[in-house]
Amino acid sequence: MRVITAIAGAFLAALALTPAAHAAPSSTPDGDVQPFIIGGGNASNAPWAARLFVNGRENCSATIIAPTWILTAYHCVASSGTYTFRIGSLDQTSGGTTATGTQIVRHSSADIALVKLNRSVPATYSPLGTTANVHVNDTVQLYGWGATCTDRPEIQCQSRYLKVANTVVTSVSCSDYRGGVAVCVRRGNGIAAGGDSGGPMFAGGKQVGVASTSDRATRSAYTNITRYRPWIQSVAGV
């Protein structure tokens, strides 16, 4: 399946917190309507997780991958502003460590970016995977502080606590928001929504993706970072 996206009028919508970044509620097989994370549950351990704020406002999710480097989505850092991060806390409002981005390095063709921090942050850094770590039909985990609703603007229902959902890989070579190579998944017990952008996909304990797009109901596309490891290493050294 090749996923083609655009900000409006496309099958999937980018996960940034935009006015169009919400959809109508969907029904589960048993007929119950529920927010699909949307769905999933609260994460219990994610020391590498980082919440991204733009000019002090909650906006995207991310991971810390090296003492001074954050990995997130290109579209999360595409505009001007002050980018700050709360790192290593499951609660986006307190705990962990805070740091400010001083340099943004955006990939030329994929929906990923690296942000250099103003200081070194001691942490458990996200372990980055290779192409051997993710395959079609694998069950993978999505993490983020994004929307838990589909019936109102997503900024109104951002999760205070980091959430996680299981999904199933349908392709490892579909397209992300900018036409880069992505891992596409179908909903398991949850799916990504606005504010989960830039957050990680994990397969077997390794990060293999960065949240790019979602239809908020059944399918999401995560930039396949295993295909961009040489670029990440050239910038961040990992």
Terminus-to-terminus CA distance in the chain, angstroms? Answer: 31
Least-confidence region, from 24-28, 100-104, 129-133: 24-28
Each residue's pLDDT tens digit, 7-50: 222 334 566 644 333 333 333 322 333 333 899 999 999 999 99
| Main-chain phi, psi angles of 76, to 5 degrees | -75, -25
Q: Would you say the pTM of this structure is higher than 0.85? A: yes
At residue 121's C-alpha, the angle toward residues 120 and 125, to 5°, is 120
Each residue's pLDDT tens digit, 65-86: 999 999 999 999 999 999 999 9
Query: What's the pLDDT at 37?
Result: 84
Each residue's pLDDT tens digit, 164-208: 999 999 999 999 999 999 999 999 999 999 999 999 999 999 999
Cα separations (Å) of 215 from 4, 12, 102?
Answer: 12, 5, 32
Each residue's pLDDT tens digit, 149-164: 989 999 999 999 999 9
Give the integer Cα–Cα distance in Å for 184 and 187. 10
Query: What's the pLDDT at 120?
Result: 98
Give the integer Cα–Cα distance in Å for 77 and 112. 9
Query: What's the pLDDT at 5?
Result: 27
Residues of the chain with CATH 2.40.10.10: 13-42+128-227, 49-117
Give the integer Cα–Cα distance in Å for 189 and 51. 22
According to the CATH classification, is domain 13-42+128-227 in 2.40.10.10? yes
CATH number of the structural domain 49-117: 2.40.10.10
pLDDT at residue 107 tops 60 = yes
Q: What is the mean pLDDT of the chain?
A: 87
Query: Any idea which residue has 């769905």 for tokens?
Result: 39
Cα separations (Å) of 172 from 136, 163, 164, 212?
Answer: 7, 23, 20, 14
Q: Which residues pair with residue 64 across a beta bridge?
A: 70
Give the integer Cα–Cα distance in Å for 91 and 152. 23
Assigned token pair, 73:
């989505």
Query: What's the pLDDT at 16?
Result: 60
Q: SS3 for 206?
A: strand
Which residue in 217, 226, 213 sits closest to 184, CA to CA? 213
**Mean pLDDT value of segment 81-103:** 97
Model confidence at 3, pLDDT cuts 50, 70, 90, reads: very low
Give the integer Cα–Cα distance in Å for 27 and 89. 32
Cα separations (Å) of 162 from 54, 80, 143?
Answer: 18, 26, 7
Query: What's the pLDDT at 6?
Result: 26
For CA atoms 158, 13, 209, 118, give the dihedral sign: negative
